[in-house]
Structure 1
Amino acid sequence: MTWPGEFGRLNAVFLPILLSFTFQGALCQLLVSPAGPTQVDALAGSNVTLAVSFSGATDPALTWFMAELPVVTWALNSGVGPDVAEGRRTVLRVETSGSLSFVEVPLGYTSNYTIEMTKSGLGKSFTTFTLRVFDVIQNVILRAQSGSAQEGAARFTLQYSMQQGVVEQQTWFFAGREIQSNSHYTVEERSLVILSPNRSDTGRYTVLLTNPFSRATTDVNVSVLYGPDEPILEARPAQPFYVSGDNLSVSCQADGFPPPNAEWVFGSQTLSDSPQGVLNLKRVQPSQGGVYTCTLLNVETGEKRQKNITLNVYEKPSGDPMCSVQSLNNVGLQYHCRWSGGSPQAQLSFPALNNTSSAAGNLSLTFNASPDLDRKTVTCMADHPVKQNNCSITAASPSMFLPAVRTTVPSDGKIMVTIQCVSEASPQAVVSWSKGSAAVTSTSPYQISRDTTQLEIRDYNVSFLLQNYTCTCRNPLGSQKREIQLRGPSISDFGVLTNPNGTIVTLTWEVLPTSVVTGFDIQMKGLDILSRNLDGAQTKASSNRFRTIKKEPGPVRRTDIFIQNPKLTYKFRVIPRALMTEGRPSEVQRIGPGEGLSGSAIAGIAAGIPCGLLFLLLLGGSIYFCVYWNKNKSRQTRYPLSRAVEKAVTTPTETTPHNLLTGGIKSPPDYNRLQQTPSERSMALPAFFPPPPVRVATTV
């Protein structure tokens, strides 16, 4: 068989198969399309269907969306019913064609609806509908949203309401002419807005409401109220100032409809309320000089107009000027100067800060904080026709400070540690708190005081409290930072004092400034407290262990102990506590005449006994060697001496004993006499005399 023939047979087999798959792929494309209009209008309570058809696949899965919310899902002909969203099952139905039907559709179902069909391997297809549900328009009422129209107001709104119905279109008319939206009129939902209404807007307004199923119209008359206009104030007689005792009158007039009422106010006191607006002042006094305010009121609209007139009755301001400096967002400085009262008000200025700014009675100047302002004293100059005065203020950055730590136990049983950081600064420094690198805020277990200078920490767990905290005092001119390492209960210093009789012992102690301590156990070792034995008699017993004899609260730093027997020895120590947590005991302090050897002394003696025995052994050997050497030296040949001569020779010339033999030590024996034989002791003396005997004494 040749290769071309074999290739022809393979083409005859596989070509139909390839064409079949290609044709099938071209036909199998899922497509869903509307089977009717895509915008459907329906009357509320009627039945309506969003009809679709599909092709290219059998039994696809579909999902209907209301806006973006899925409301129905179903796999066609799957044997399982559609899954309709909860609360919509009485309204929504889905057909086998995929169409969505509404049963007695409510008003709230106006929305865009999208059907999405899917089939494995064929992708997705979707189409969108718009459903508008209307109701018949009935009982339309047109009224002003905020009462009467007022000339000069920003806007006036006419708004309609109805008992029922859905409006598709609203049309507004003024005096029979249709209103178009422009710079004076704006048509909004359910309302017509008249921008900046005036007298010419008075008239009849009509609204026409329509939808595909009904229409309605209604109208209302609008009257635009105006005034009061700008008040005109006049003083008679007209002069720049008045002297005590003068008579004068002040009038306040303005145009308006209805005519406005005038009210005169001086300070906080109402002086007159009348349509005429004339204020008569008799025999004025310096206290009556100042600003008089006339308020014109339109009683129909509530519109007010105010205007002031100043009557000068010369009087200097009371007291002295007051200066202060405040922080603005912890960045800027606001210098403030005030000298209230007087007529005219004093002119205030800060020449060192700004020689062009001034104000009457009250002056505030704001500057960015800079090093030049730190600890710089600035003066406010107060200039008044009667008297000149001044005041000064100095802004300063926070100075160095020492934090204060206090520990208490509130009624809830927790340990409360209060850290206070206060730094002298002007303006007052704001304190921020942090633990490590994290900021601390007023959330449990932390509480920051209103002025931020105190941080309270509450917890049952002592170890939780022992953290490293940082307080930063800051104002616009700078900051100071201090770290506080809270420590466990500890004693830094402990001492005892006694009265002259030794019957009262005063214990004093100190703790570390950052130590968390809620109380102290005062302990003693020595004579026990009096106790009763079996026969009822009181006895005293010595104790070799420390016992707690007293408890003191955390703030206490001293206590008195009454001693029963001042001739005995007592030991004291203090144990700091943080609730149930004990700190390291203080050093032990002793009072009394003394006591036996301590354990360390006994141990030293025991270690020294072998050394002492060795020393005595060496000493004895040395003595024996010296005696033995001296004895050998004294063994020499002796000539016989008579007893008389021997006695004469051996008798010492000194009558006092040798200084080495004092203290009850016996003289050593005469070794020369011990070496003589009896015959030698009786023989005559030789012609020469031997040297005197050598006496050796050893003192140990």
Structure 2
Amino acid sequence: MKRREGLCGQVLMIVLGFAFHDANGQLLVTALGATRVDTLAGANLTLAVSFSGAPDPAVTWFRGSLPIITWTVGSDVTPDVAEEYREVLRLERNGSLSFVNVPVGFDGDYEVEMTKSGLGTDSFNFTLRVFELFQNVTVTVLPDLIEEGSEQFQLQYGMLRGVVERQLWFFNGRRIAEGDDGSHYSLQAGSLTVREPSRNDTGQYMVSLSNPFSSVTLHLNVTVLYGPDEPRIQINPVQDFYVSGDSLTMSCQADGSPQPLVEWMFGGESLSDIRMGVLNLTRVQISQSGLYTCELRNQMTGVQRQQTVTLNVYERPQGNPQCSVLSEDNRSLRYGCQWSGGTPPARLSFPDFGDDSSLENFTLSVNASSELDGKIVICQAQHLVENGKCNVTAESPQYFLPSVRTDVDSDGKIVVSIRCLSHATPPAAVSWFRGGEPVTDGDLIGDDTTSLRIRHRNVSVLLLHNYTCTCRNPLGGRSKHVHLQEPSISNFSLFPHKDGTIVMLTWEVPPTSIVTGFDIQMSGPALVSADGNVSQSKGSGDTFRTILAKPGTARSGDIFHLDPKSTYRFRVLPRALMAEGQPTKARRIGPAEGLSGPAIAGIAAGIPCSLLFLLLMCGLIYLFIYWSRAKRRQTRYPVSRAAEKVTTTQTQTPHNLLPGAARSPPDYNRLRQTPSSLSVAPPTFVPPPPVRVATTV
């Protein structure tokens, strides 16, 4: 009897379990194996996953942010695979992603996303790297002849086949890392660049290449030619100035290989009677004052260097050199350098533009070019007592974004102000165009020409033309097209308060949209006032009505006194005076948020069906108990002890009781097994097949 009552209880538990199964279920995706996979090109592999908490979810695999394959687990429909992946990708029945003869280039980040309605969404990420074995690897250097002071030289490696995961460069046994010696070394995929090579860069270079399946090391000797170095001029004795009759010695030296030849120049003539770069001046005269030039030449490389020195009586100019750059006819640049005073005047020059120089005030006109954009131009000011310098940088107009502001003037007209301002040296001139035609009306353009104002009562008239602002100086110009837009909102969000009585709305406006105000609209029951009374508002609960107006500068709004038990929908309507733009998509808030119509209908239909089924099962259980008692009242015959022992042995206490005599939920997987797979004999009583009532939320 106890066994039969226990069986009835189990049946009841099964019914209740089917009725409320998955009420608190949650979809969960996990990886079966490593999430970072390295493989050789041409291999087969699988990014294996498993899921739990939901049956037959929808599966989407992404490569980066691009969906490449979609399918619903258990569906008879063929998985939808992106065309360029169909020869390589296969989707397994459990949602795992398999690769067939994976080629090079299929490496990257892969993400699986599974979704089940009402049970949420879960995802998992994998990283796949595809490699090849190294074959026929070589290393070369460009150019063949490397000179000190050249722009750079580069060591490159090449190979017939192979994918490099890690490259290591070494110089004379010391590893080279990115950023070593400032910007002297630059590491790229497949090469090492040595910028501004010097004699110290002569030596042995080694590159080590590796991936998880292969490695190789190569060596190459590099020689850098150098010299002559910057000439060093020494004067003995060292004095601030020299007077007629003084004697002095000037020497010019520089390192180089081979040793450079030295030649002194004065007044455009060569002083060929000197030896080893030493110039002896005995009882100097005024006619010997001026610039002396030391020229050095490397016979092997042909590189020449020179250095000059001035011998004169000198008085220091006042202050410091001053540099400037101006625009000439918006076509050329006029560089200026000034250092007034001194006896004689200081000599000024721009070495970047040649040997031209002047006294006290030096100006130089240069044709504008892209090479001058952002270049620091230095002015050298030479004087025996003290040398000075200054610098100036000419820049083309920098990148800028036009700003658009919308107002309403006292006459009720829409005023759109467009401002374009770009940093530039010399300052840029701003010009305006409307529909391709220049704007010359002084009432529309501001005093500094950087702003344009247009007015009209009708926003559609303001949208008829496109405007362009151009900022230009001799180094170039930048133009920006301004396409005014009708009132619109680019982004709209809703943030409810945790108690449900307040909601904050935020929105964004496109930069060129003409907006003078916003109407916050709502559908749903009337708002509750602060004293608890229902406020009066026009419109029914299913139509949108304006509850709050905001100016054109607003980007958020707060709605108070909401009923936490009611459902509301909000949207924002942009305006340009009386013209209305497209309202935003409505956002919903309320306790029923997230329940669809079919879900509500399923709940409504499932509850009475479940109650009716429970009543039916209770009636069957009552009839079974009544029949058992009636049969027990019949005449019983003696039973042998062996039979009693068998009966006692078959009647066992259920072993799945929880503490407090509570029974554990039935094992639905065990109920689906065949009789041969059960651990004990199945019960003799077979209950009616259970009916599962599922509610989708």
| Structure-1-length-normalised TM-score | 0.39
Q: Point out the structure with max Rg over C-alpha.
A: 1
| Structure-2-length-normalised TM-score | 0.40
**Larger relative CO (CA 8 A, sep 6+): 1 or 2?**
2
